[in-house]
Amino acid sequence: MNCYLHPETVAVGSCKYCFKGVCASCAVDTGVGLACTMACEAKVKATDALIERNKKMASFGAKTHSRNASLLALMSVLFLAFGYLAPRGFLSLYMVGFGVVLAVGALLAAANARRLGKL
């Protein structure tokens, strides 16, 4: 591969953003990869910052799902209890049905927390 600006010169690498070949005189070392222009340099640094932020945030996923599972389970128990204790009728059926939906949500959130915890 040759440099995109100097076709007669062999490229030493490629831009991490646009993948154009760059020679030693065109290459800009960003610390996280090569860039061909200042615009690409800013984009390479921004992309790397985004990746690093996502790595840090991924560790919160399992904790968040566990907390949500606990909250959904508590709400499910409350709706099921109030639905059971309420006089029989539409409201009672609604509360029991909603309690079941919340229980399913709690199970799914717990499963997601477990799956994310293994990553």
Give Rg (Cα) of the chain. 27
Please classify residue 85 by burial: count the beta carbons closer than 10 Å to its beta carbon, then call 0-12 exposed, 13-18 middle and 19+ buried: exposed
The answer to whether residues 104 and 65 belong to one domain is yes
Residue 78 has what pLDDT?
97
Please give the Cα distance from 47 to 92 (Å, whole number): 52
The answer to whether residues 40 and 63 belong to one domain is no
Collect all residues with Cβ–Cβ distance below 8 Å to 100 and sequence separation of at least 6. 76, 80
Residue 119 has what pLDDT?
74
The answer to whether residues 99 and 72 belong to one domain is yes
Residue 108 has what pLDDT?
97
Residue 98 has what pLDDT?
97
Residue 96 has what pLDDT?
96
Please classify residue 40 by burial: count the beta carbons closer than 10 Å to its beta carbon, then call 0-12 exposed, 13-18 middle and 19+ buried: buried
Low-confidence ranges of the chain (pLDDT < 50): none
The answer to whether residues 84 and 114 belong to one domain is yes
Residue 106 has what pLDDT?
97
Collect all residues with Cβ–Cβ distance below 8 Å to 63 and sequence separation of at least 6. 113
User: Would residue 10 count as lying in a domain?
Assistant: yes
pTM for this prediction = 0.58
Instruction: Give the structural domain span for 3.
Output: 1-45
